[in-house]
Amino acid sequence: MTLAPVAAAKNTKNVVDAEALDPVSLIRPRRRIRGISAILLPFQENGDPDWPAFSAHVQRTVAAGLAPAVNMDTGFGNLIDDATRTRALELTRAVTDDFVAGAFVGDEPGAPFNADEYRRQMDMIQKHGGTPVIFQSFGLTGHGDDAIVAGYKQLAASVDAIIGFELSNLFAPFGKIYSLEVYRGLLGIERLIGSKHSSLNRELEWQRLMLRDEVRPDFRVFTGNDLAIDMVMYGSDYLLGLSTFAPDIFARRDAAWAAGNPAFYELNDWLQYLGFLTFRPPVPAYKHSAAMFLKLRGFIDCDRTHPQSPERPESDREILRHIADQYPSE
C-alpha cells in the first residue's frame, strides 16, 4: 500500500492520495477481528428498562465472543439519565471486565469544550472497569482542528485508555468527520487506543486504515458502517449497532474470516441484508427494529423502546420474521 508523500512541515495538510487507494491491497485474510457490539437497552410495557433482559443480552454477547458496548446510541446513551447509565455499567461489570461504554456530553452549538463533564462521565465508566468511548459534542468538534486534537489529549491524560468516535452530522448535529490532519494528530495520542468511524463512506475509512498502517499499526479503526460491515476484510475492527441483532452470527462470521472459511461470505450477506433493512431512514429507528428482531428470536418479551426514539411500521415485523427464518445454520 502506498501513501502520498507527507507534506513539508510548513504544509499542515497530510493527505492520502486518492489515486493511491488500492482497496484490494488492504485486504487482510485470516485476520482475527476485534468485535465490539453495542447493547440494546430493552424496555418493558410500562416504559421502564427491562434489566433482566439487558443482563441476558450482555451475557449472550460475551458468550458469543464479542465485547459489549453499553450506553451507546443503541442503549439510548443521549436520552437516559445517570442512574440508568450507572445501572447498565453495574450489570455489565457483573458479567465481564472487557467492555466499553459511551461518555456523552449534551450541549448546544457554540458551547465551550466541557472537559469537566467528560471527565465525570469517564470516571463513572472507569470506576466500573470499562473503557470510555468519547461521543462528540459541539464543544469538542466546533472550535477548529487544533482544538479537537487538544481536547482529546486533555481527556486521554486523565484515564488509562479511551476510544474516539467520528460521527457524520447526518446522524447527529454535533457530529463531525475529521480531516486526515486531525486523524494523524489523534494517532499520536498514546492512550487513545482506537476510534470508531461512522461516515458510511468506504473511501474515508480506507484512508484511515492506510494512515493507521503507516503511523501506528496497533491503533484500532472500528468501523461503524452498518451498511458495509465487510470493512473488516480491509483491516477494520468493528463497534456496531447491527451486531446487537445477532451477536452469535457476527461471531461465527468473524471466526470464518480468521479460518479462511468461505462461509464468511454467506454469513456476511445475511447480516448485511438485515442491516440494509433496519438502518434505512429514519436511521435512529433501527433500535425499534432490533427490539422487534430480538423479540422474534425469543430473547426479550417486549419490543418497546425509549419513548423519544422513533418506531418502525408494523409491516416490518413480517419482513424481519422472514429474515429470521433464513437464519444461517451451523
176: left (phi over 0), alpha (psi -120 to 50) or beta: beta
User: Is the pLDDT confidence value at 214 over 90?
Assistant: yes
Q: Which domains does the chain have, with CATH numbers?
A: 33-247 (3.20.20.70)
**3: pLDDT strictly greater than 90:** no
pLDDT for 310 equals 94
Whether residue 2 is predicted with pLDDT greater than 50 in this model: the reply is no
Is the CA virtual torsion 64, 81, 163, 243 positive or negative? positive
pLDDT > 70 fraction of the chain, expressed in percent and rounded: 94
Does the structure show a pLDDT above 90 at 202?
yes
C-alpha cell at 291: 427490539
- Asked if the model's pLDDT at residue 209 lies above 50, the reply is yes
> Percent of the chain, pLDDT > 90?
88
- Which among 188, 328, 192, 258 is positioned nearest to 35, based on CA atoms? 258
Average pLDDT, the chain: 93
Task: Give, to the nearest 10 degrees, the angle between helix 115-127 and helix 145-156.
Answer: 40
pLDDT band for position 170 (50/70/90)? confident
* pLDDT, average across residues 273-282: 95
Of the pLDDT bands very low, low, confident and very high (cuts 50, 70, 90), residue 16 is low
pLDDT tens per residue across span 66-101:
999 999 999 999 999 999 999 999 999 999 999 999
C-alpha–C-alpha distance, residues 103 and 119, integer Å: 9
What are the cell numbers at 208? 484511515
Is the pLDDT confidence value at 302 over 80? yes
Say which residue, 130 or 2, is predicted with more confidence.
Answer: 130
pLDDT for the residue 17 = 63
Average pLDDT over residues 8-23: 56
At 18-67, the pLDDT tens digits run 567 889 999 999 999 999 999 999 999 999 999 999 999 999 999 999 99
- Mean pLDDT in residue range 239-260: 98
Mean pLDDT of 225-239: 97
Residue 172 has a pLDDT of: 82
Model pTM score: 0.91
Confidence band of 15 (pLDDT split at 50, 70, 90): low
